[in-house]
């Protein structure tokens, strides 16, 4: 094979080489499209729940927001480097791969790591997808409260979930690139409109925010929410694997993280200072009703639907890999993804409270996938040696930083998970299932 037809070279030139050396045009995500996908996937329900999380943490919540954003970006970059190492060492993975994160874990720590990552991804994206539909249902109930006052959020949840089944049948993000664009830009506009209304509310004489000191339980619940807000790493390898030039993924993560921080920080700070303890888990319910809020709610509902399609796609591909479902469109794919939606309906109707579910996912699987696994797997891959591989040395200061991420992530994640479970099953906070009839 010629040097120009080497798989890595061909990838950089947007070419793909067949076995006989024929070059054909390679389809895939460009830098802009991949950045939009990463930012659109991350900027979801987190932005609506962050103000309440910051209030429960106190002023330090804003500092944690900055720290978590930086750490999540660093972890995403290291995860991208891990995949570059995999492609360099194992030529069979230079083609499209359904479960790239699990492949990274397998090469770094073995079959157990692959098994653990696969299940973490399934739980994370399954839970996130359920939360997105729950939030969208809550927003639709708010939008149509005057028109259909008898419709509950549980009913809207079932309707939205049913309508989302056909779009779920699409294969991968590159087959519906408009979804990523829609998910990001609807969020940007919605956040700007929410921020404008918060500023208006802050000028009201009747608005006198109160702040109080919260206990460890509230702090670690909010800790999980903050982690959830930056929990996009579970889909990063899938998006990177769909890129034409995978080496640009670091730039993609940095730009996307900057966009996310631009959305998160002003809205969280404004919610903290304007509403204080009065802010709700979904900040849209705390705003004064206006045209700004109405339009923003519509845009946010659209975003949640788009983001749902992005976050559920990797777990769909994971399940299809496990059940040996063909990669081409067919009834097996449709059946499996429909069954996954039915399972989401059951979970959403059983636990209609999205706040603690969000904290539970953020403190457990998202912490592992975003803050613990990326630096740990990167260190493991760099420590491995072979005469055929280029040697990689991690500077001591960087290795210390990565181990700090692992230790702090494990400690904070365990505390947040424990607080979330206590809240979900606590007698004073248990929410009745939608199908609970007295």
Residue 283: what pLDDT? Answer: 87
Q: How far is CA 305 from CA 35, 53, 101, 355, 390, in A?
A: 19, 23, 24, 18, 44
375 pLDDT band, cuts 50/70/90, is: very high
Backbone angles phi, psi at 110, to 5 degrees: 105, -170
Spell out the domain ranges in the chain. Answer: 3-424
**Six-digit token string for 87:** 């492609």
Considering only CA atoms, which of 282, 328, 329 is closest in space to residue 141? Answer: 282
pLDDT at 232 over 60: yes
Question: Cβ contacts of residue 422 below 8 Å, gap of 6+?
Answer: 217
8 A C-beta contact, residue 202 and residue 270: yes
Architecture per CATH, domain 3-424, reads as Up-down Bundle (1.20)
Name the residue among 56, 57, 429 with its Cα closest to residue 279. 56
Q: Does position 106 have pLDDT exceeding 90, yes or no?
A: yes
pLDDT category at 276 given cuts 50, 70, 90 is confident
Q: Give me the phi and psi of 274, to 5 degrees please.
A: -90, -45
User: Is pLDDT of 196 > 90?
Assistant: yes
Average pLDDT over residues 213-223: 80
- Which tokens go with 78? 């290291």
Task: Kindly write down the DSSP assignment for every residue of 412-428, as one continuous string.
Answer: HHHHHHHHHHHHHT-TT
Give the predicted TM-score (pTM) of the model.
0.80
Centre a 10 Å sphere on the Cβ of residue 133 and count the other Cβ atoms it contains.
Answer: 26
Average pLDDT of every residue of the chain: 81
Vertex 236, ends 190 and 99: CA angle to 5°? 135
Q: DSSP states of 330-370 as a string?
A: -HHHHHHHHHHHHHHHHHHHH---HHHHHHHHIIIIIHIII
Task: Name the token pair of 290.
Answer: 């206006």
Residue 425 corresponds to which tokens in the numbers above? 């099953």
| Alpha carbon separation from 258 to 241, 245, 302, 398 (Å, rounded) | 22, 21, 22, 22
pLDDT of residue 15: 42
Residue 19 burial class via C-beta count within 10 angstroms: exposed 0-12, middle 13-18, buried 19 and up: exposed
Confidence at residue 131, expressed as pLDDT on a 0 to 100 scale: 85
Give the residue, 25 or 259, on which the prediction is more confident: 259
Confidence of residue 24 (pLDDT cuts 50, 70, 90): very low
In the predicted structure, residue 371 carries a pLDDT above the cut 80:
yes
Q: What is the pLDDT of residue 162?
A: 92
Q: Please, which pLDDT band fits residue 399 given cuts at 50, 70 and 90?
A: very high
- Specify the pLDDT at position 279: 87
For residue 210, list its beta bridge partners. 276
User: Angle at Cα 57 formed by Cα 204 and Cα 253, nearest 5°?
Assistant: 100
Residues 327-338, mean pLDDT to the nearest whole number: 87
pLDDT surpassing 90 at residue 239: no
The mean-pLDDT minimum among 17-31, 37-51, 306-320 falls in 17-31
d(C-alpha 438, C-alpha 431), whole Å: 14
- pLDDT tens digits for range 147-194: 777 788 888 889 999 999 988 887 665 555 666 677 778 888 999 999
Quick check: helix, strand or coil at residue 208? coil
Helix, strand, coil share (%) of the chain residues, nearest 5: 75, 0, 25
Rounded to whole angstroms, the Cα distance separating 274 from 178 reads: 35
Residue 197: pLDDT band by 50, 70, 90 thresholds?
very high
Residue 106 has which token pair? 């397998």
């Amino acid at each position: 094979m010629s040097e120009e037809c080497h798989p890595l070279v061909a990838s950089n030139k947007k070419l793909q080489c067949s076995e006989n050396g024929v070059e054909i045009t390679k389809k895939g995500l460009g830098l802009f499209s991949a950045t939009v996908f990463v930012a659109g996937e991350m900027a979801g329900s987190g932005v609506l729940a962050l103000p309440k999380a910051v209030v429960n943490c106190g002023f330090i919540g804003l500092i944690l927001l900055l720290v978590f954003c930086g750490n999540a970006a660093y972890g995403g970059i290291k995860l991208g480097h891990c995949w570059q190492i995999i492609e360099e060492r194992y030529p069979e993975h230079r083609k499209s791969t359904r479960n790239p994160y699990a492949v990274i874990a397998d090469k770094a720590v073995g079959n157990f790591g692959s098994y653990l990552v696969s299940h973490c991804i399934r739980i994370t994206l399954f839970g996130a997808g359920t939360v997105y539909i729950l939030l969208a249902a809550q927003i639709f109930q708010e939008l149509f409260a005057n028109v259909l006052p008898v419709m509950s959020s549980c009913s809207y949840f079932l309707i939205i979930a049913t309508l989302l089944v056909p779009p779920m049948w699409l294969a991968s993000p590159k087959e519906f690139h408009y979804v990523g664009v829609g998910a990001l830009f609807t969020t940007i506009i919605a956040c700007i409109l929410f921020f404008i209304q918060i500023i208006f509310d802050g000028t009201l004489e009747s608005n006198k925010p109160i702040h109080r000191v919260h206990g460890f339980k509230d702090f670690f619940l909010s800790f999980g929410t903050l982690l959830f807000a930056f929990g996009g790493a579970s889909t990063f390898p899938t998006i990177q694997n769909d890129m034409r030039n995978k080496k640009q993924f670091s730039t993609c993560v940095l730009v996307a993280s900057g966009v996310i921080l631009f959305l998160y920080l002003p809205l969280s700070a404004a919610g903290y200072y304007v509403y204080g303890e009065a802010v709700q888990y979904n900040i849209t319910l705390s705003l004064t009703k206006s045209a700004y809020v109405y339009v923003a709610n519509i845009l946010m509902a659209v975003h949640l639907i788009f983001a749902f399609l992005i976050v559920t796609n990797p777990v769909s591909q994971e399940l299809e890999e496990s059940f040996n479902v063909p990669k081409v469109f067919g009834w097996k794919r449709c059946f499996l993804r429909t069954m996954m939606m039915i399972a989401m309906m059951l979970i959403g109707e059983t636990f209609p409270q999205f706040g603690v579910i969000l904290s539970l996912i953020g403190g457990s699987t998202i912490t592992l996938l975003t803050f613990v696994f990326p630096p740990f797997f990167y260190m493991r891959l760099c420590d491995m040696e072979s005469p055929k591989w280029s040697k990689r040395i991690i500077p001591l200061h960087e290795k210390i930083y990565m181990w700090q991420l692992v230790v702090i992530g494990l400690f904070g994640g365990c505390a947040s998970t424990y607080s979330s479970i206590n809240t979900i099953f606590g007698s004073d906070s248990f929410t009745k299932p939608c199908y609970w009839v007295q």
